[in-house]
Amino acid sequence: MFPNTHFKNAKKYWYMNKLYDWSEGILHPMIHALHYGTSTFEGIRAYPTSRGAAIFRLKEHIDRFFHSAEVIRMKVPFTKEEVIEACRLIIRENDLKSAYIRPLLFYSYGNLGLVPKFSPPELLVAAWEWGAYLGEKSNQGVNACIVPKRRIHNSQMDLSAKLGGVYVQSMINGTLARDLGYDEAIFLNLEGRVAEGPGENICVIKDGVLHTNDRSESILEGITRTSLLEIASHLGYKTRVAPIKKEDLLQADEAFFCGTAVEVTSIVKVADFSENPDKGPEYILGDGRPGPIATRIAEEYRKVVTGQNPHFEKWLTHVKD
Ligand SMILES: Cc1ncc(COP(=O)(O)O)c(C=O)c1O
């Protein structure tokens, strides 16, 4: 009934401690989360290593998941250890060498008042093979556009949580960017500085220094971003965490998106629609190709996630014992 066309190699999913065939759908259309986006989720990746698939920074993702649940006032019906085991299990059950893992906690079926008094939180964990998030072109760098609408502000929502409803803004603007002919959107924050992408953080490089922003700038402070800051220092690069002005991006030597889904993907051109929604002057970053530092960091990230850098082995959870 439900083909896995866009979920490569997905055979089963885990839902409330049971495994279901991927083709089988079991939820009622009146679940609370479907109507109001009352859910929270994680995006986690597993990579092939010499010891089989390993999940990158699983503990940190599950900690964030439970934090997000607190923000949306949900009690997770499982312990952290049980969710960790469900993530490991679903990769084994699907026999995946690499995977994107999606734990989702949502208010389920009960009532439809905005306060989900009778709608219990339920948990799903799915996994499948997901290639480059921004497509095959990612290796050559992508073109992004600064969209006219500003990112939801951290005075309005707690952006340290990954809440389903917040991603409506991501979806609308990600679609707008593609309609305008670009690969991805970039949000400014209400202060007019660079915030983040719809599902990615942003790093810029100028004069050899890797520079990114933090939660004070209305972003989700990503686990990838935090890992890359450490990897970059380990490689000997200077790093800086401070607000990114729009000009810092437009005049950067190099820039990249980073996140679990997008990994490290260079931004080679930025169009700025922030001042006029009908006109987006374009800026080429560096020489219009992924730059040397972003490339070096992306290579090292690949080594780290695939278990080829012993210093960061501590970040991997192997799927098999
Ligand atoms: C809005 C947003 N910002 C940043 C990120 C990057 O976070 P992470 O590196 O933890 O995947 C994500 C992806 O989860 C995201 O959805």
Structural domains for the chain = 12-128 (3.30.470.10), 136-305 (3.20.10.10)
CA distance 67 to 43: 14
Q: Which amino acid is at 20?
A: Y
Question: How many CA atoms are closer than 13 Å to the CA of 91, on its beta-carbon side?
Answer: 30
CA distance 56 to 91: 13
Q: Is 18 a catalytic residue?
A: no
Residue in 162, 269, 314, 320 annotated catalytic: 162
34 CA to centre of ligand 1 in angstroms: 22
Instruction: Provide the pairing of β-strand 238-241 with 209-212.
Output: parallel
Q: Which of 224, 226, 244, 305 to mutate to test the pocket of ligand 1 (most atoms within 8 A of CB)?
A: 224
List per-residue pLDDT tens for the chain, 321 residues long: 899 999 999 999 999 999 999 999 999 999 999 999 999 999 999 999 999 999 999 999 999 999 999 999 999 999 999 999 999 999 999 999 999 999 999 999 999 999 999 999 999 999 999 999 999 889 999 999 999 999 999 999 999 999 999 999 999 999 999 999 999 999 999 999 999 999 999 999 999 999 999 999 999 999 999 999 999 999 999 999 999 999 999 999 999 999 999 999 999 999 999 999 999 999 999 999 999 999 999 999 999 999 999 999 999 999 999
pTM here is 0.97
> In which residue are the tokens 């970039």 written?
186
CA distance 84 to 97: 18
Task: Please name which of 107, 111, 118 lies closest in space to residue 69, comparing C-alpha atoms.
Answer: 107
* Contact 164 CB / ligand 1 (< 6 Å): no
Q: Which atom of ligand 1 is nearest to the CA of 198?
A: 1
CA distance 157 to 68: 12
First to last CA, the chain: 34
CA distance 130 to 1: 21
Instruction: Provide the pairing of β-strand 184-186 with 39-41.
Output: unpaired
* Contact 76 CB / ligand 1 (< 6 Å): no
Q: Supply the angle between the helices 223-234 and 292-305 in degrees, to the nearest 10.
A: 110
321 CA to centre of ligand 1 in angstroms: 29
Task: Please name which of 117, 93, 91 lies closest in space to residue 102, comparing C-alpha atoms.
Answer: 91
Ramachandran region, residue 129 (left: φ > 0; alpha: ψ -120 to 50; beta: rest)? beta
307 CA to centre of ligand 1 in angstroms: 22
Task: Determine which residue's CA is closest to atom 8 belonging to ligand 1.
Answer: 222
Task: Please name which of 256, 259, 261 lies closest in space to residue 295, comparing C-alpha atoms.
Answer: 256
* Contact 200 CB / ligand 1 (< 6 Å): yes
Angstrom CA distances, 195 to 91, 150, 203, 308, stand at: 33, 9, 10, 32
1 CA to centre of ligand 1 in angstroms: 31
